[in-house]
Structure 1
Amino acid sequence: MPKRFPALSDYGLGWSTRQRITAIATGLAVLLALAAAVALLTGRTTAGDGRAAAPTSQPSSSTSASADPTATAGAGSVAKPPQLADPVAFSKAAATVLWSYDTRTTSHDQQLAGLKAWLTSETTYADWSSISAQVPDPVLWSRMADQDQYATATVTEAHYPSAFKEALADDPSAITQAYIYAVTVTGKQQIAWKNGGAGAEDRSVTLAVQCRPNANCSLVAIAPTVVP
């Protein structure tokens, strides 16, 4: 049975506002810095697993998480990042590209390069590993390609989680440190492969996106799960 594109990961726990500000100020490692920046705005997180039954299993992310794509960004079937300044609208587009792929026209390296084009250029906050982990490893991608597997996505709704809005209301100036927003997106992924194979599953993900004033938004990370 062909392998499906992996479900999105949930990770991280919330820190207090003081702890998160301290973490950012002291310049921790990239992953911790991201968790601090996102948690600064999202508050206490809750672990969850939004994956539904699907035609295939979760691939290993050990290879893809550390991969350094060499193909031209935006190559293959991966959509290029839109020029949007609205966090919610950008998050809808980002979720769509994360849930979409086409092994018939796009190589593993092209998929990674295409997604990396969406990543913020601010390395202090960028968590490439959380995004690249969504791409199956090269061996699994090859097996999917043997089955001509591809997926399309439909976004049904996107919103700021209540924890994010509450944290922002408590400290409106916090957003100005990095302009990172948490947005939860829900939708459906349709998967197809040769000989008429098909499947679908509901999807939900909380993204961290950066939208600085007078600049287009960019993707920061697959954020910790937060209270809707």
Structure 2
Amino acid sequence: MSGGALVRRRALLGTVVLVALVALAGLFSFLTRDDRAPSEHSSVPPSSSSAPVSPAPASAGSAALPVPPDTRDPIAFGKAAAVALWSYDTRAYSQPELVAALHRWLTGEEKYVDADSVERQVPSPLLWGRMADSGQFATATAAEAHFPEAFTRALQADPGAITQAYVYAVTVSGKQSIAWNGSPQGGAEDRSVTLAVQCRPDRPCVLVGVLPSVTP
């Protein structure tokens, strides 16, 4: 992909996310500028969930790579995606295998997807190699997820604005636990992330990208 095309894609993703976060009429017009008519019935799923999400148990012989859930709930999907982004196992698979698995979480709509923002959540190949030398792995849980306040206000101001891209902002909070050879207990730290999640009414949710900062 050319540099200009990559810049345009990132700019468009940024616009979509800003529309989700800021109630600006001009940006809403940008999102709805094509010829498709907005849905007559636009519903917003529950705005938060405090049920913890942990990785699903791996099946026998599985490399435990993250698999996207079949859900149309952006909150549930956001929690699962955060767990996938915070989890890894250098003992079970390679860095390219994890990146490829995370790509399967992404939307196929090229005008919105920002794969680079997801790939930046994975350790670089060089760092991965060093981590693998010590058998490092991480597990994660997502304790809570919600729509940021600005996103909710934007939807309330113009509910039809989301009906072009169906991109939701979801902020997830949880915990990541890291361990390695000789230190099975490792350490744990709190984590938070704001994701852009696309949930069109006729298909399961997919990941659009990771916002550069956490939005409360």
TM-score above 0.5, yes or no: yes
**Alignment partner, residue 212 of structure 1:** 200
* Matches for 1:35-184 after TM superposition, within 5 Å: 35-43=14-22, 76-184=63-171
Cα distance in 2 for residues equivalent to 1:43 and 1:222: 17
Letter in 2 for 1:38: V
Letter in 2 for 1:160: F
Counterparts in 2 of 1:195 and 1:224: CA distance versus 1, 3 Å: closer
8 Å contact kept, 1:42–1:226: no
8 Å contact kept, 2:171–2:215: no
- Aligned partner of residue 18 in structure 2, secondary structure: helix
**Identity, % of aligned pairs?**
54
Q: What's the offset of the Cα at 1:77?
A: 2.5
| Long gaps (5+) in structure 1 | 1-27, 45-74
Letter in 1 for 2:112: Y
**Alignment partner, residue 183 of structure 2:** 196
Q: What's the offset of the Cα at 1:76?
A: 3.4
**Greater C-alpha radius of gyration:** 2
8 Å contact kept, 2:115–2:209: yes
Q: What's the offset of the Cα at 1:199?
A: 1.1
| Long gaps (5+) in structure 2 | 1-6, 24-61
- Aligned partner of residue 29 in structure 1, secondary structure: helix
Cα distance in 2 for residues equivalent to 1:85 and 1:106: 29
Q: What's the offset of the Cα at 1:136?
A: 1.2
Task: Write out per-residue CA displacement over residues 120-157 of structure 1, whole angstroms, 9 at most, x where no aligned residue.
Answer: 10010000010001111111101100110000001110
Q: What's the offset of the Cα at 1:224?
A: 4.4
Counterparts in 2 of 1:103 and 1:226: CA distance versus 1, 3 Å: closer
Normalising by structure 1, we get a TM-score of: 0.72
Letter in 1 for 2:121: Q
